[in-house]
């Protein structure tokens, strides 16, 4: 069976993109299904046809600006049937690009202080979360404005209301899996982060 051509992108200047990029690579290491390429802080990697060789992309990035060529390359690539996995601040990127925000399914509003909090599994039947139960993380909880049509897989309470921690959605013929966990390398090293990421990559890359 051909391996899943996987691009891991890490960039942006607010989070520790270098440390997080390495932690994400470590989380995916050992998955024999994947053939991984790593790109750091070079958004020109999104310009068509550079993404054509890949099946799925894990995307850790914070704020920044995206050009029309970069935006079109990314959005059209996902819509063609590829998998896109924005991590944590992937929902806090390209504030001036509503099309990117629409593809992700939501965007960052605020966050409480870095702390321990409990994550509940909202859908135990989905391939990403099948058989998983609630768990505790030490991370930065993202509070998001999100499209109510996304399929919420995991959630955590914030001021008495459930806030998504992971969701899936479609974009054209492609798949999007958003994971709000992963503020820093330590958070990316949590076993549940790694489990959700690995399963998310396999789900997003699968053609249905």
The overall pTM is greater than 0.75: yes
Residue 208 pLDDT greater than 80, yes or no: no
Per the CB < 8 A criterion, the answer to whether 57 and 82 are in contact is yes
Domain residue spans of the chain: 4-106+167-205
Query: What is the chain's mean pLDDT, rounded?
Result: 97
Q: Quick one: pLDDT at residue 142?
A: 98
Please classify residue 149 by burial: count the beta carbons closer than 10 Å to its beta carbon, then call 0-12 exposed, 13-18 middle and 19+ buried. Answer: exposed
pLDDT tens-digit profile of 162-201?
Answer: 999 999 999 999 999 999 999 999 999 999 999 999 999 9
Which residue bears the tokens 């008495």?
160
Q: Quick one: pLDDT at residue 1?
A: 79
The C-alpha atoms of residue 132 and residue 155 are separated, in whole angstroms, by 13
**pLDDT level of residue 13 (50, 70, 90 thresholds):** confident
The C-alpha atoms of residue 108 and residue 78 are separated, in whole angstroms, by 21
Q: Quick one: pLDDT at residue 57?
A: 98
pLDDT tens-digit profile of 107-116?
Answer: 999 999 999 9
How is 86-120 classified by DSSP, letter by letter? EBGGGGGB-TT-HHHHHHHTEEEEE---SEEEEEE
Among 3.40.50.880, 3.50.50.60, 3.30.2080.10, 3.40.50.2000, what is the CATH number of 4-106+167-205?
A: 3.40.50.880
pLDDT tens-digit profile of 120-166?
Answer: 999 999 999 999 999 999 999 999 999 999 999 999 999 999 999 99
The C-alpha atoms of residue 78 and residue 51 are separated, in whole angstroms, by 9
Per the CB < 8 A criterion, the answer to whether 168 and 175 are in contact is yes
Q: How far is CA 99 from the centre of its chain?
A: 16
**pLDDT level of residue 95 (50, 70, 90 thresholds):** very high
Neighbouring-strand partners of residue 139: 115
């Amino acid at each position: 069976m051909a391996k899943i051509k996987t691009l891991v992108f890490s960039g942006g200047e607010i989070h520790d993109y270098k440390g997080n990029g390495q932690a994400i690579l470590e989380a995916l290491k050992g998955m024999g299904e994947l053939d991984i390429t790593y790109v750091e802080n070079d958004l020109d990697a999104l310009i068509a046809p550079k993404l054509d060789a890949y099946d799925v992309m894990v995307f850790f990035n914070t704020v920044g600006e995206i050009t029309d060529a970069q935006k079109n390359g990314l959005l059209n690539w996902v819509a063609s049937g590829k998998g896109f996995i924005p991590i944590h601040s992937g929902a806090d990127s390209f504030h001036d690009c509503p099309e990117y925000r629409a593809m992700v399914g939501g965007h960052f509003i605020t966050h409480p202080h870095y702390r321990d909090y409990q994550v509940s599994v909202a859908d135990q039947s989905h391939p990403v979360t099948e058989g998983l139960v609630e768990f505790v993380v030490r991370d930065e909880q993202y509070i998001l404005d999100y499209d109510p049509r996304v399929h919420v897989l995991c959630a955590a309470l914030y001021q008495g209301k459930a806030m998504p921690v992971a969701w899936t959605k479609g974009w054209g013929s492609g798949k999007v899996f958003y994971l709000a966990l992963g503020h820093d390398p330590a958070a990316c090293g949590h076993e549940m982060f790694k489990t959700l990421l690995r399963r998310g990559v396999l789900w997003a890359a699968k053609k249905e």
